[in-house]
Structure 1
Amino acid sequence: MFKHIKNDLPASIVVFFVALPLCLGIALASGAPLFSGLIAGIIGGIVVGSLSGSHIGVSGPAAGLAAIVLTAIGTLGGFENFLVAVVLGGLIQIVFSILKAGVIAYYFPSSVIKGMLTGIGIIIILKQIPHFFGYNSNFSFFQTDGETTVSGIFNALNFISPGATLIAVIALAILILWDKVLSKKSKIFQLVQGPLVAVVVGILYFVFTNGNSEWGINEKLLVSVPIPESIESLGNLLSFPNFAVIGNSEVWITAFTIALVASLETLLCVEATDKLDPDKRTTPTNKELLAQGVGNSISGLLGGLPVTQVIVRSSANIQSGGRTKASAIIHGFFLLISVILIPRLLNMIPLSVLASILFLVGYKLAKPALFKKMYGLGWKQFIPFTVTVFGIVFTDLLIGIGLGLMVGIVVILLKSYQNSHFLHIEDKSNGKHRIKMTLAEEVTFFNKGAILKELDSLPNDTYLELNLLNTRFLDNDIIEILEDFALKAKQRNIDIQLVSKRGVEENPSSYIEFFRTRPKSTLSLS
């Protein structure tokens, strides 16, 4: 696991700086204690990272669950009651893994997965614009003040903090310089990552400008980590589940909802991170569900939020050179150590600097070149991709993915409709049109409409050659269509010739009987 420590250690530092404000922000957006977000981040790194089969995936509290958590805490009558649902949700995920439910991840088109990555990248950029300019200290993906993302951006332009904006611009310049120039010059710039330098510069800027009315940074625009007075008092920040409510049906409904949504979000993230992995390794999805289930149960027992594998942290890990699960585990220990030893130092980090780091992460996920590439692959790829992107940006993650998947299914049905047969009109001889219809290798009920339309549009006095040489599967619905057409053919003076592996047959009833006598379980023509 530590074979690539020279890559994983600097990557874990970047993931740590990305994860820290997200853990706090998601807890804030969820209406939960801030410390619960940090607990989830620590468990996601150390526990889930150790058990997971993913080499580069990073787990922690997820923005996609924040709305569910916010509602559930109120419905269940308190955070301690909600923690019972988190523990049970983790146990349900373990059951999912035993039932091999991880296979669902393989049934999402790549265009939808790429659209998910791009949509999340755009959301990351949009949500960080206010923080970049020093507006709205709530570092979250969900607005709790009635604003939208767009209104938040316009308000940010009206309330620009000069100090926060200046250090954000400096940090962004450092990141771009490090990524495009310095990292290619020397190995030292690969070991010491740009985000770490940007954070250190941000802390120094805050220290030297503290108290300056014009260029200083307000404390509301800094990271806010709970500060325990001593090691003993650290336990006072923990919350524990109230198992007295375990018989409440609402708790079980919430638990199943958490398990279902967290599992789906994790599996989608697994599929996406595997595509981003430079080594193209494949994550065992059922093992991932087991790791997530164990992590959620422990997180709930210690007072943490639900965890999933998260694309923002995972992509930051990949882009920073992470090679093995060591980077995820180490980032979890960094969260734990920092909360205990250096919370006051962490609280000097400007949120605008972290926004600059996430800008770069978002841009790499949503590069304009990707839109051009998807367009070049044709409309069958571009439309589901685009629908997924817009769905995620204007609604939420799961709705956007659902819309993209539905469009992808419609595209498949449409192409199946179009590709059921090939119609070739040869010539007109002896007063009859000669028409050759070749059926596809597999013809199912999806193709009923297309075949029925072509058969009904044949002119009277036609000689039809029906070629089934390549057809290996014929659905019973298609057989019924051909049976009905054979009766109509006599009335319309249409002669039918069947070309199959049995040879050439002129009698329509012969080929109908041929189909009818096939085994109903397969209806195979091979």
Structure 2
Amino acid sequence: MKLSGPLATLSQYHPRNLQHDVPAGISVFLVALPLCLGVALASGAPLFSGLVAGIIGGLVVGGLSGSELSVSGPAAGLAVIVAESIGDLGSFEAFLTAVILAGVFQLGLGLIKAGRFSSLFPDSVIKGMLVGIGIVIVLKQIPHALGRDNDYEGEYEFSQLADGENTVSEIYRAIVTASPGAVLISIISLILLISWERAAGRGINFFKNLPAALLVVVLGVGINQLFRLYYPDWYLGDNNEHMVRIPVFKAGQNVSAIFDFPDFSALKNPRVYVVAATVALVASLETLLNLEASDRLDPLRRQSSPDQELVAQGLGNIVSGLLGGLPITSVVVRTSANIFGGGKTRVSTMLHGLLLLIAVALLGSVLNHIPLACLAALLIVVGYKLAKPSLFVRIYRDGPNQFVPFILTVIGIVFTDLLVGILMGTVIGVVYVVYTNSQATFRVIRDKNKVLIKLQKDMYFLSKPRLKEALRNLKRGDSVYIDGQHAMFIDHDIVNMLTDFGATARAQGIDYELNEISLKKRNTQQHATLREAITEE
């Protein structure tokens, strides 16, 4: 029997992967830390709930996941749903009950193998999702890199709830109010990251084994402290505005003061089940899309199990709801940071969860000195790798049927949000592909007054307008032969139109002949073909 998930990892694991997984895990941890807090803030939930979800996403979902590289945690795409649901249900504790139910629903989806539906999304839309997210990451991190931290980390919608701005206006205001200290920290961090990666690419072990992300954070903290001593005007301070801000817990603090627990009396409220179903469906959709995307980014081209992933997500959300955490999904930003950080196995994902746990338990006061500006540099590099200009050129060369849904998905994500952008790209992509295919379903070949209309493939109703126009262009005295032998399916409306045109052709003095157009003939041929195939087998 072929092993999958954590069993496969343990059976195939080699200690040499640690040199890749440890730096990647540290990078993901540093990226996830502000994102967990930011998503909790955006959701109107306790900050600690975001950290709980991040820890469980790493340790529980990471260990059971259907993917070696996918990273799970609280997702920005659910923030609005969570905020509205908390208000609708009346309390965060009641919402936690809905999170547990959502996990049960996801578990059921995984067991009935609903993950197969992820393959329905067009390839161009998945590519557009990755590029769109990359652009949004860069645009959203520019203000943080310039020292404007009014908007919380993890909000990827175009219209910002936190300060009433949008992505473009926020960048403008960040440029106008740029902080010299933040700008310098960001520039130095970017230079260090790019130089470090190039040196690691040349095979120098020192640069390959030491995580650049960790060095950037240490450097960011050090530079800010130097500003405090020598350039007070550039000092970013140690406040909520420009720093990571983790809740700091005191020794002996009551557990009930740290964790929120579900209110199971909310099970009597029918709205809880509606909220649970909504969270389960949206979280599952986002997870399955990210799973498809992570497989495309995986250098080893491994194929993840979507059904196993849904089971893992379901169990993760059950645990998260029980411990006071936000809903969990597989998320693009942290997964991308993991892959570009060099992660090879799920150990990097689980390590990031362990580091979040240690940070919450022991290192809150230390990590609260990290400037958001240096973390912005980390995310800008991740965003650029997702949205390299060469990707646009490559997909453009694949033709309009790939580029149109791709670019519309990108535009939708950048100027609305992730789910709306994906929906736009999918709908328009399917319509565009169907439309373009309908344009090549038949050919009209004219030699003086002899006309051949050859049906080259299946004829659906979308081909009807062009075919009708071709019939309209026929002239008196034409000898027309319509050949349908190469079309395995002909829409009923088209058969009727071609048949009815016979009377019009006679009235206009057109010699008109149909070959294998009748529905009865088509069905007979298809059944005969099927019988032949069965006989051969």
Return the TM-score normalized by structure 1: 0.92
Pair 1:88 & 2:131 matched: no
Q: Which residue, out of 324, 328, 331, partners 2:352?
A: 331
Other-structure match for 1:352: 373
* 131 and 404 in structure 1: CA distance in 2 versus 1, 3 angstrom threshold: same
- How far, CA to CA, are the matches of 1:407 and 1:246 in structure 2? 40
C-alpha displacement of 1:23: 0.4
Other-structure match for 2:184: 166
Pair 1:422 & 2:443 matched: yes
Pair 1:196 & 2:217 matched: no
* Larger CA deviation: 304-313 vs 484-493: 484-493
- How far, CA to CA, are the matches of 1:415 and 1:130 in structure 2? 42
Question: How many equivalent pairs are there?
Answer: 511
C-alpha displacement of 1:168: 1.6
Query: Is the Cα–Cα contact under 8 Å of residues 125 and 406 in structure 2 kept in the other structure?
Result: yes
**Counterparts of residues 269-308 of structure 1 (less than 5 Å):** 269-308=290-329
Q: Which residue, out of 335, 340, 349, partners 1:319?
A: 340
Query: Is the Cα–Cα contact under 8 Å of residues 488 and 522 in structure 2 kept in the other structure?
Result: no
Q: Which residue, out of 124, 148, 155, partners 1:111?
A: 124
* 522 and 479 in structure 1: CA distance in 2 versus 1, 3 angstrom threshold: farther
Other-structure match for 2:224: 206
Q: Deviations over 1:130-187 (max 9, x none)?
A: 1112222533414412122222222222332222222221111110111123442512
- Give the AA of the match of 2:373: S
Q: Deviations over 1:310-368 (max 9, x none)?
A: 00011111111111212111111111112112122211111100000001011111112
Structure 2 gap ranges (5+): 1-8, 533-537
Q: Deviations over 1:401-453 (max 9, x none)?
A: 111112212211221220111111123xxxxx111121123222332222232
Other-structure match for 1:44: 57
Cα RMSD for the two superposed structures: 2.3
* 278 and 185 in structure 1: CA distance in 2 versus 1, 3 angstrom threshold: closer
C-alpha displacement of 1:270: 1.0
Other-structure match for 1:508: none
- Give the AA of the match of 1:66: A
C-alpha displacement of 1:280: 1.5
- How far, CA to CA, are the matches of 1:214 and 1:296 in structure 2? 45
* Larger CA deviation: 263-272 vs 142-151: 142-151
Query: Is the Cα–Cα contact under 8 Å of residues 442 and 457 in structure 2 kept in the other structure?
Result: no
Pair 1:485 & 2:501 matched: yes
- Give the AA of the match of 1:254: V
Pair 1:148 & 2:148 matched: no
- Give the AA of the match of 2:167: T
Other-structure match for 1:430: none
C-alpha displacement of 1:497: 4.2
- Give the AA of the match of 1:343: G
Other-structure match for 2:470: 454
SS in 2 for 1:438: strand
Return the TM-score normalized by structure 2: 0.90
Pair 1:130 & 2:143 matched: yes
* 441 and 350 in structure 1: CA distance in 2 versus 1, 3 angstrom threshold: same
Pair 1:241 & 2:254 matched: no
Q: Which residue, out of 236, 246, 257, partners 1:217?
A: 236
* 462 and 99 in structure 1: CA distance in 2 versus 1, 3 angstrom threshold: farther
C-alpha displacement of 1:255: 1.0
SS in 2 for 1:349: coil
Q: Deviations over 1:200-242 (max 9, x none)?
A: 1122223444465223221231111111112654553110111
* 11 and 469 in structure 1: CA distance in 2 versus 1, 3 angstrom threshold: same
Query: Is the Cα–Cα contact under 8 Å of residues 438 and 459 in structure 2 kept in the other structure?
Result: no
Other-structure match for 2:175: 157
C-alpha displacement of 1:283: 1.4
Other-structure match for 2:71: 58
C-alpha displacement of 1:129: 1.3
Other-structure match for 1:382: 403
SS in 1 for 2:235: coil
Query: Is the Cα–Cα contact under 8 Å of residues 420 and 451 in structure 1 kept in the other structure?
Result: no
